[in-house]
Structure 1
Amino acid sequence: MVSVPGFGAPSRTTRDASALTRVVAGAAGAAAAGLVYSTVIERNAFTLRHATLPVLEPGSSPLRVLHISDIHMMPNQHLKQAWISELERLEPDLVVNTGDNLAHPSAVPAVVQALGGLLARPGLFVFGSNDYFGPKPKNPFKYFKKNHTRTHGEPLPWQDLRAAFTERGWLDATHTVRELEVGSVRIVAAGVDDPHIERDRYEAIAGRPNPLAQLRLGLTHSPEPRVLDSFADDGYDLVLAGHTHGGQLCLPGYGALVTNCHLDRSRVKGVSNWGSTMKLHVSAGLGTSPYAPARFCCRPEASLLTLTAVSNGGDVDSVQQSLPQLADQFS
């Protein structure tokens, strides 16, 4: 039998080329699907995280704290605004906002409207870099270098946002020690400006807080270890922070690739211990930069923290709730 070129079984070269084409097409399809999932689906899959933390003085009544961070609001993000507005139904005793509210010069009204009734509740806040300066396109590989050079975008109207918060009764904790009573719990709270851009001046609040307080609460946008060490040394019970976005792009079984600060990856979100007695809670935040609008294995979140007396048991980082679950429970 004579074999005629161009007829019969394909050559090995042809088979190899066809297999390579299928592999490349499959990889491209998977990448496209991942891009759509991370930028369209997960980025908008807002969730509510619950945790119980025994940090109050013995005999204290429980305190429900809603921790919000890293909203990075754009005026046209109506789904995010609607979800945040639903949080008021949780009826928290105290709201804590740890900064990076803005991503656009015209976003202040959207932030204020979304927070809505939460602004009528007792609240504390500090700002982050993206309250002061707008986002800019960045080389993503810079995030793997902790000490990379930082560049700032256009100035943002943080004074207008601060005025809106304080006029409604929220307390600015930046470089200030605040004492307040929420329910029957006496709180001492103090905060620093954003350590990520070296605006922190811990010496302005340094010293042991009022020993009569039932909760000694620290606030910072970026959870830089030097600041956390200072809070721990002064005897604070709990520090709330944001900034990390929980890593934003995480790998299954591995977690966050980076924290965008000097905090280790194991503490990139949720509850952890800092030192022998202080608790740290880092929020994975609700937003992203408009120049990196993707999340993977790291849903945007707010956190409802139930603070209990130290004798009432251990801390629990519990199940998250999606937007429909939240709406169903509190409708």
Structure 2
Amino acid sequence: MIDLLADRARTLGRGLAATTAIGAAAGAAAAAYGWWEKDQFEVRRETLPILPGGSAPFRILHLSDIHFVPGQDKKARWLQSLAELKPDLVVNTGDNLSHTHAIDPLIQALEPLMEFPGVFVPGSNDYYAPRFKNPAGYFRGPSRPKTEPIKLDWPKLRTAFGMGGWIDLTNRAQSIALNGLRFDFSGVDDPHLKRERYADWHRGTANQDTRPHVRVAVVHAPYQRVLDHFTQAQAHLILAGHTHGGQICIPGYGALVSNCDLPTWRAKGLHDWESNGLTTPVNVSGGIGTSRFSPVRIACRPEAVLLTLTPRT
């Protein structure tokens, strides 16, 4: 009997050891794949009919969550190559940085895109450097700012964007004439930090306000309260980022977290948002980078979005 029990114990031990080895191998394979996928940059293309009748198509290049780190040469070359798309407008929805020394190489990577008109708002990782977090913590809800954050040089980055001709929409509204159309922009500071303050829409002269125009809201984190506000303010389009598309997704299912109160199935893509009987299309970018402490993506490739606006049918 003792020998039989000993044999069973040895068999169980070998089974547990094999299971542990298989689990470790699977985990290593997933990490290796995620490390590879984080650099498989793509351009997602969408078409949205929201322009006044008779307008020519208008192309917006939506960038978000670059999370640049010095030495990311492949990412830098890809960002530079996006200028070949020749967008009519570049919209940057924040979280450009993931390192205290990232500003200069980031601006160098974005310099070709600054040949085009642009607007921007900041994300939390333009103000503060990321720190290591337990990935399991995201399942308990949106991440929280650290009590003693490492500050980034947001004024330097904002100035560089401005010197490149891009317009700061941080809690501001601005109207711009582009390709014969009037675009009314309204942007907010990062809702993830609860810094949003609404500036409504810019108002021009009486004659200007009667001309056809397009209202575009720009925000980093797509919290429901912000989407509700801009939908009720009758925005024609809302552009946001922050979610990383979930970053680690399950094939065939999608994102497990959105790092805000947005439903996970909306963590990436072009969707309609409804509030008080009104509807506004929202494009949530899956983002270009990751935190430097979690440099993997699974079933969620990094993306820029080329959004072609066409006349309403």
TM-score (norm 2): 0.91
Match among 168, 177, 181 for residue 181 of structure 1: 177
Query: What is the identity, as a one-letter code, of the residue corresponding to 2:195?
Result: R
- Name the structure 2 match of 1:63: 58
| Cα distance in structure 2, aligned partners of 1:265 and 1:277 | 19
Mark the runs of 5 or more structure 1 residues left unpaired by the alignment: 312-331
| Cα distance in structure 2, aligned partners of 1:252 and 1:290 | 24
- Name the structure 2 match of 1:326: none
- Once the two structures are overlaid, the 10-residue window that deviates more, 214-223 or 136-145, is 136-145
| Cα distance in structure 2, aligned partners of 1:97 and 1:147 | 22
Q: What are the within-5 Å matches in structure 2 for residues 82-93 of structure 1? A: 82-93=77-88
| Cα distance in structure 1, aligned partners of 2:84 and 2:142 | 41
| Cα distance in structure 2, aligned partners of 1:206 and 1:89 | 32
Match among 292, 295, 310 for residue 294 of structure 2: 292
Match among 29, 47, 54 for residue 52 of structure 1: 47
| Cα distance in structure 2, aligned partners of 1:150 and 1:179 | 33
Whether 2:236 is the aligned partner of 1:237: answer yes
Structure 1 pair 25/146, CA: closer, same or farther in 2 (3 Å)? Answer: closer
Match among 134, 137, 143 for residue 139 of structure 1: 134
Match among 302, 309, 312 for residue 310 of structure 1: 312
**In 2, are the aligned partners of 1:100 and 1:130 still within 8 Å (CA)?**
yes
Whether 2:115 is the aligned partner of 1:126: answer no
Query: What is the identity, as a one-letter code, of the residue corresponding to 2:37?
Result: E
Structure 1 pair 82/225, CA: closer, same or farther in 2 (3 Å)? Answer: same
| Cα distance in structure 2, aligned partners of 1:18 and 1:48 | 48
Q: What are the within-5 Å matches in structure 2 for residues 89-238 of structure 1? A: 89-146=84-141, 149-151=144-146, 153-202=149-198, 204-205=199-200, 210=209, 212-238=211-237
| Cα distance in structure 1, aligned partners of 2:177 and 2:201 | 21
- Name the structure 2 match of 1:317: none
Structure 1 pair 181/256, CA: closer, same or farther in 2 (3 Å)? Answer: same
Shift of 1:106: 1.4
Alpha-carbon RMSD across the aligned residues, in angstroms, is 2.1
3-state DSSP class of the match of 2:292?
Answer: coil
Query: What is the identity, as a one-letter code, of the residue corresponding to 2:293?
Result: Y
Shift of 1:207: 8.5
| Cα distance in structure 1, aligned partners of 2:168 and 2:70 | 24
State the Cα deviation string for residues 245-285 of structure 1 (Å, max 9, x = none).
00111112221111000111121011000124310000011
- Name the structure 2 match of 1:72: 67
Query: What is the identity, as a one-letter code, of the residue corresponding to 1:167?
Result: M
Structure 1 pair 179/250, CA: closer, same or farther in 2 (3 Å)? Answer: same
3-state DSSP class of the match of 1:188?
Answer: strand
Identity of aligned residues (%): 46
TM-score (norm 1): 0.86
- Count the aligned residue pairs: 302
**In 2, are the aligned partners of 1:61 and 1:184 still within 8 Å (CA)?**
no
Shift of 1:126: 0.4
**In 2, are the aligned partners of 1:99 and 1:242 still within 8 Å (CA)?**
yes
State the Cα deviation string for residues 35-62 of structure 1 (Å, max 9, x = none).
1111x20111111111111121222211
- Once the two structures are overlaid, the 10-residue window that deviates more, 139-148 or 22-31, is 139-148
